[in-house]
Structure 1
Amino acid sequence: MARTGRVRVDYRGLSVGEYPAACYRQARQLFVIDEDLAPLMIYAAGLTGRNPETLKELPAEHRLLEGRAVAVTVTKRRRGKANSRTTVHWSVDGDPTRQLRTSGSFYLLMHRMMARSRAFSGTTSVWSIWAGNGRGGVRHASTGGHTGPFDAELARKLHLGRWARRHGLVDDNGAPLQMMLTRIKKTVEARTAKQVGGHLPSARLTNTADTSFAYYLRGDPFVREWAADVLTEAITEAEGNARAVVARLGGADVDAVPDRVRTQAAAGELDTLASACVDIEHGPDGGRCEESFLTCFRCPNALVMERHLPALLALAEALREDLQQRDAEQWTARHEVIWQILTGDILPHFSPAQRAAAQQTRPVLRLDLLDGPKELP
């Protein structure tokens, strides 16, 4: 049988109905048969993460790279586009007892398993089986029943459901598992995405990050639940970072503010008009500060936090209104520096969401307050 490729069975004592099963039992001692395709394809999909069409078109031709990797040119079928061919490099485990651990070792194992059949079928595919009984016996008579199972059509039935039932596989509800190779690919994509923390450029195996998400990850319930947790954590962290916005004016280092002073500022104990003063005893001109609030926006003692945002927005609105009532040159001479610092250096620290929230509690500020307290007559 190994020499000719033709299966010989001693039918004595067998009924006619038992002939096919006897042939398959005899054949599978040397060759891969139809029934073997299901577990091989399932394992190949789970190990490589490739789609069924690409796996069915795996070629027999390959290059072994220093015994560490195997280079295989695979075909990727695209919807509405020309098919593309690319060379993949699958790692090979040097330990022969670990042939099921890496994609390269498994490919080489399949290559050896079907090499004898390929010699008779003449296929260029890595897949070659003996299918001599029934319809295959007539169609492949010239090759002794050997054929490339996916040469004529990729839609060859693999009977995955039958294989799953034989192994008692059930879904989460206890019903018979609907085994699908595309579902296995989605599982691989989801598992890989979780392993790399959701970083899609790193997670993608065979597609772009956009395609991996749109076709394999977005609809997966486990990925949705996992991604929701990740997103919630990210939003919470981003919100915390945003609320921790602290800006020190006048070019001073915000990290140099002592924790005790920052705590006082956060509690409102050091507030001036629209900021906090971290050292009122040492003003710009020396000694206790007696300058107007205009000076705060250029003073290194000024500290701006989120709690000052409503007053800052109110100040910006007051400056805009003042521009409508005052000569432009006069307004520029008086308020241009403050306006530039306010709109260019301070407000950009805060997010649109923070600004929208601060608008709800915006106080009314009179610009004459910027000149400092007035003595009563």
Structure 2
Amino acid sequence: MSSHPRKGHGVAFGRDDGLAIPSDPDPITGLRFTIAVQNGGEARIDFTALRPRRLALAAARALRHLAAPGGPLGARTTVMAYAVAVPKFFAYLGECGEPVDGIGALQARHVDRFEAWLEARGLTRIHLYTLLTKVVGVLRQIAIDSPDEVSPDLRDRLRYVSAKPFQHSRPRDAYSPYVARQLRDAARDDVAAVSRRLQEKPPPDPDPVLRRMQAAVHAIIEERGLVRHSEPAFTSLYHARRRRGWPNDHLADELHGRRYLTRDDVVPFLVLLALETGLEIECCKALTVDCLQNASGGTVEIAYLKRRARGAEHKRLRVRDGGSTMPGGLIRRLIEMTAAARRYHPSESLWVYCGIGTFVAGIRHRQALVDAWTRRHGIIDDAGRPLRLLLSRLRKTHKALWYLKTEGHVARFAVGHTPEVAARHYADVPALRPLHEAAVAEAFREAVASAVMPTVLTPDQEATWRADPAHAPSLPGEHDPAMLLGGKQDVWLASCAGFHASPHGPAGAPCPLPFWGCLECPNAVITARKLPAILSFLDFIEGQRRALHAGDWAVKFGRAHARITSDVLPAFGAAIVTEARRVLAAEPVPIYLPPEARL
């Protein structure tokens, strides 16, 4: 290119301008090294104990390439997971008894036998598959780095992870509304208590000596941000309190907690934020001080980073804004509470608080802190046992509560996901199974209630109908109640309110159904007078059960049998049915069956 390009003049390139300067993409040659991870942080890897050394060097180089800019490994935790999986493969090679001095000696059988080796050690298929995926991924990268050294047999094996079927993991469950209410109430109480602690001044100590010592310690905190345990002012206060019999277990936290958030305060804020927004817990931890954007109409957008959404990591979620119990107000309060610590420990992270003798940016909580918080509030699970809170389940809990609030309306429930993903990952969870089972049962009840059924009149209802025909039930067709109940419009199993107005045939035409179709017809009116005929037909179809194949009998008489035994006879009661059987025994009712019905 020309050495001095000027405005208005064309740029000229020479033959050598497009030549890339050769560079060594991987200058590290040892087995103890540090990887600067793409998403921040460093991963320290130590493969010095792995043998054979030549293969260990190839695996180390492959891991560095996988974690390089643009590579598939972007998070420190993922890189460290690979660093844990690779030594397991070398442990297998050391036990297999075959001499393997480098990548050229590896064959497909080594990968297959490594899978069997893991399985023999009791690993579940899910855990085994995750380890095997990482080892195969490293071997694939070695095949790319050293294509001439990999045998064709191994190259063919690296086309797939495992020949056995993949076992899907059990979906993470949500906490029940009972547990969620305990968590939300405890977190809100703690957030309010922290706000009061930072805003209110502590009452003056009645002991003038301790009051002067505390003032000296607070002056150091105001000047330097923190007071060390080795400071003379702190040790003097510590020993003075001990001489008076006062507890000193959390003295440093008490002193710094008047100005800053402490590591114990982070847990309730994190729990409440996850429950109110439904953000993934790793996204909550990665929020920054400028995450609130585009406030409008009582809402605000939370800009967050979801690293595992490759290609769409930067996302936004619109939430309610306003009071401190709303997501937007909660984040604003966090920003205010961390401002004092941010003066001494500048950071873009939303979470800046006082740890043990130092300021911390970002959340590096231990499960022990979460367990201590739930234990302090006495939070229990549905079985009454102390709850072991897993923060990763809070997103599912938020989704389950929203699902209950929207009554399962997928269009309203699927926020941030397609309806298919929302239904599969957040609606089909064990915590919502009772709701789904109740909905199915209710649907069946509604279907039965809305099914086409005849009108069944008990003797008391029949007497009421005769006494006041004007208030008789509305039935299709033109009918006279007196004629209907008097037998003028009888068919074999019922009285028919509209033999020429059947819902199963054209208007004006006779009913086309067989006689037992009355049991499924809204025109039919069944009274106690028809019970002997119905019982006679029931005896007939019970006899046919013994003569016909079970499937044929179910197709021909199953619905009629169920209607008689489940709906008609129970409506009359045992006494009336017994009397009808006595009448049937004394005067048998002819069975009006066509010949084909007897086959």
TM range (shorter): 0.5 to 0.7
- Cα separation, partners in 2 of 1:232 and 1:187, compared to 1, 3 Å: same
Work out whether 1:104 is the aligned partner of 2:333: no
The Cα shift of 1:164 comes to 1.0
Aligned partner letter, 1:72? I
The Cα shift of 1:182 comes to 2.9
Identity of aligned residues (%): 17
Is contact 1:76-1:84 (8 Å) kept? Answer: yes
For residue 63 of structure 2, what is the aligned residue in structure 1?
Answer: none
Q: Pick from 301, 316, 323: which aligns with 1:71?
A: 301
Aligned partner letter, 1:31? Y
Q: Secondary structure at the match of 2:276?
A: helix
Q: Pick from 83, 97, 115: which aligns with 2:339?
A: 115
Work out whether 1:188 is the aligned partner of 2:398: yes
What residue ranges of structure 2 are gaps of 5+ in the alignment?
1-219, 455-474, 521-553, 561-591
After TM superposition, list the pairs within 5 Å mapping 1:294-305 onto structure 2. Answer: 297-299=505-507
Work out whether 1:57 is the aligned partner of 2:286: yes
Q: Pick from 32, 40, 48: which aligns with 2:269?
A: 40
Aligned partner letter, 2:333? L
Q: TM-score, normalised by structure 1?
A: 0.57
Cα offsets for 1:110-157 (capped at 9, x unmatched)? 121112323443322221112252xxxxxxxxxxx333224xx6x765
Cα offsets for 1:8-55 (capped at 9, x unmatched)? 36313326x999943322222111121111111111122222221121
After TM superposition, list the pairs within 5 Å mapping 1:195-344 onto structure 2. Answer: 195-221=405-431, 223-243=432-452, 257=477, 278=498, 280=500, 297-299=505-507, 308=517
After TM superposition, list the pairs within 5 Å mapping 1:77-96 onto structure 2. Answer: 77-78=307-308, 81-82=310-311, 84-93=313-322
- Cα separation, partners in 2 of 1:49 and 1:302, compared to 1, 3 Å: farther
Output the aligned Cα RMSD: 4.7
Is contact 1:201-1:208 (8 Å) kept? Answer: no
The Cα shift of 1:235 comes to 2.1
For residue 225 of structure 2, what is the aligned residue in structure 1?
Answer: 6
Paired with 1:39 and 1:260, the residues of 2 have a C-alpha distance of 73
- Aligned positions, number: 279
Paired with 1:197 and 1:303, the residues of 2 have a C-alpha distance of 43
Paired with 1:207 and 1:5, the residues of 2 have a C-alpha distance of 47
Q: Secondary structure at the match of 1:11?
A: helix
Cα offsets for 1:81-121 (capped at 9, x unmatched)? 5553321122123xxxx412x21211211121112323443
Is contact 1:310-1:359 (8 Å) kept? Answer: no
Q: Secondary structure at the match of 1:72?
A: strand
The Cα shift of 1:242 comes to 4.8
- Cα separation, partners in 2 of 1:193 and 1:361, compared to 1, 3 Å: closer
The Cα shift of 1:244 comes to 6.1
Aligned partner letter, 1:28? G
For residue 380 of structure 2, what is the aligned residue in structure 1?
Answer: 170
Aligned partner letter, 2:227? R
The Cα shift of 1:158 comes to 6.8
For residue 148 of structure 1, what is the aligned residue in structure 2?
Answer: 361
After TM superposition, list the pairs within 5 Å mapping 1:121-140 onto structure 2. Answer: 121-131=345-355, 133=357
Cα offsets for 1:327-357 (capped at 9, x unmatched)? xxxxxxxxxxxxxxxxxxxxxxxxxxxxx85
Cα offsets for 1:288-346 (capped at 9, x unmatched)? xxxxxxxx9554556688964999xxxxxxxxxxxxxxxxxxxxxxxxxxxxxxxxxxx
- Cα separation, partners in 2 of 1:298 and 1:68, compared to 1, 3 Å: closer
Paired with 2:252 and 2:452, the residues of 1 have a C-alpha distance of 75
Is contact 2:400-2:426 (8 Å) kept? Answer: yes
- Cα separation, partners in 2 of 1:107 and 1:257, compared to 1, 3 Å: farther
Paired with 2:263 and 2:499, the residues of 1 have a C-alpha distance of 84
Cα offsets for 1:183-203 (capped at 9, x unmatched)? 333333222222222223323
Paired with 2:378 and 2:390, the residues of 1 have a C-alpha distance of 15
Paired with 1:305 and 1:89, the residues of 2 have a C-alpha distance of 60
Aligned partner letter, 2:299? A
For residue 197 of structure 2, what is the aligned residue in structure 1?
Answer: none
For residue 344 of structure 1, what is the aligned residue in structure 2?
Answer: none
- Cα separation, partners in 2 of 1:361 and 1:131, compared to 1, 3 Å: closer
Paired with 2:295 and 2:254, the residues of 1 have a C-alpha distance of 37
Q: Secondary structure at the match of 1:89?
A: strand
Q: Secondary structure at the match of 2:234?
A: coil
Paired with 2:298 and 2:370, the residues of 1 have a C-alpha distance of 32
Q: Secondary structure at the match of 2:318?
A: strand
Which of the pair has more CA radius of gyration? Answer: 2
- Cα separation, partners in 2 of 1:11 and 1:195, compared to 1, 3 Å: same
For residue 255 of structure 2, what is the aligned residue in structure 1?
Answer: 26
Is contact 2:505-2:512 (8 Å) kept? Answer: no
- Cα separation, partners in 2 of 1:121 and 1:299, compared to 1, 3 Å: same
Q: TM-score, normalised by structure 2?
A: 0.38
Q: Secondary structure at the match of 1:39?
A: helix
